[in-house]
């Protein structure tokens, strides 16, 4: 079966999907092969910047010192001091709600052991452990990059999904995002594209169309 272009497939997917009252997500379904996924190095877990963004707001939260937070308060959606982190740790319901609402977390490096010990049980299974930020640094550029990124995780599954945008985005932009994600995934696999069985594009509630 000859490969089709991402633009051709995205156009077909959007054309086939019924109209919805909300902006459906456009997703990739990637099927792996010939990989032992019980070995951690064979699993995909990566934050992938999309050339044209997600098509929806991406929420970023940061834990840090007042000095660090002062640099990013206009960029981060939520900012927590050490004292506020301690309060969050005490309220498991609030912690779970926060983790559900936030796409990416950052934390000043010295706080990472505390976060791992106290909130790791909430953050870890959802693939949302914070990225460490060196003390005294300015993570503004990182926050801006994350606001147009997605997290791609295969975990132990041969089939996994990755959002590449929303139906309201121009088709050309969606196709560029598809190509960017696949290029990143292929680069992470031991044998590159040879470890991919197939790739499908679909809307979150619509039919799928094979790309590879």
CATH number at residue 86: 3.40.50.790
Burial of 211 by CB count in 10 Å (0-12 exposed, 13-18 middle, 19+ buried)? Answer: buried
CATH code where residue 158 lies: 3.30.190.20
Question: Could you list the residue range(s) of the whole structural domain that residue 155 is in?
Answer: 6-55+149-210
Res. 85 pLDDT band, cuts 50 70 90? confident
Asked if the model's pLDDT at residue 2 lies above 60, the reply is no
Res. 207 pLDDT band, cuts 50 70 90? confident
Note the pLDDT tens digit of each residue in 140-179: 999 999 999 999 999 888 999 999 999 999 999 999 999 9
Tell me: do 26 and 95 sit in the same domain. Answer: no
Note the pLDDT tens digit of each residue in 54-74: 999 999 999 999 999 999 988
The span from the CA of 174 to the CA of 191, in Å, is: 26
Quick check: is 1 in a domain? no
Tell me: do 82 and 32 sit in the same domain. Answer: no
Quick check: is 103 in a domain? yes
Beta bridge partners of 163: 27
Mean pLDDT for 1-16 is 87
Mean pLDDT for 79-100 is 88
Tell me: do 87 and 133 sit in the same domain. Answer: yes
Quick check: is 138 in a domain? yes
Tell me: do 139 and 153 sit in the same domain. Answer: no
Q: What is the CA radius of gyration of the chain?
A: 19
Own/partner pairs for 122-127, CB < 8 Å, 24+ apart? 122/92, 122/95, 122/96, 123/99, 126/99, 127/45, 127/151, 127/153, 127/155
The span from the CA of 59 to the CA of 97, in Å, is: 13
Quick check: is 188 in a domain? yes
Note the pLDDT tens digit of each residue in 113-134: 989 988 888 898 888 999 999 9
Tell me: do 36 and 76 sit in the same domain. Answer: no
Tell me: do 89 and 153 sit in the same domain. Answer: no
Tell me: do 126 and 93 sit in the same domain. Answer: yes
Quick check: is 122 in a domain? yes
Tell me: do 64 and 51 sit in the same domain. Answer: no
Tell me: do 15 and 91 sit in the same domain. Answer: no
Total domains in the fold of the chain: 2
Quick check: is 37 in a domain? yes
Tell me: do 186 and 110 sit in the same domain. Answer: no
Mean pLDDT for 172-200 is 95
Global pTM reads 0.85
The span from the CA of 125 to the CA of 11, in Å, is: 35
Q: Which 3 state secondary structure label does DSSP give 116? A: helix
């Amino acid at each position: 079966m000859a490969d089709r272009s991402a633009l051709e497939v995205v156009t077909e997917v959007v054309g086939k999907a019924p109209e919805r009252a909300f902006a459906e997500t456009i997703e990739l379904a990637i099927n792996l092969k010939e990989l032992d996924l019980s070995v951690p190095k064979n699993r995909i877990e990566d934050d992938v910047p999309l050339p044209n963004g997600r098509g929806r707001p991406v929420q970023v939260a940061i834990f840090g010192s007042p000095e660090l937070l002062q640099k990013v308060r206009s960029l981060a959606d939520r900012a927590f001091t050490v004292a506020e982190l301690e309060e969050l740790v005490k309220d498991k319901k609030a912690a779970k709600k926060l983790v559900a609402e936030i796409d990416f977390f950052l934390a000043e490096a010295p706080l990472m052991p505390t976060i791992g010990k106290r909130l790791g049980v909430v953050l870890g299974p959802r693939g949302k452990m914070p990225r460490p930020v060196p003390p005294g640094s300015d993570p503004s550029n990182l926050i801006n990059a994350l606001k147009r990124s997605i997290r791609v995780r295969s975990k132990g599954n041969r089939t996994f999904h990755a959002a590449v945008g929303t139906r309201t985005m121009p088709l050309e932009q969606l196709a560029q995002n598809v190509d960017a994600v696949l290029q990143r995934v292929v680069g992470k696999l031991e044998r590159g594209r040879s470890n991919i069985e197939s790739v499908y594009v679909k809307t979150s509630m619509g039919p799928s169309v094979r790309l590879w």
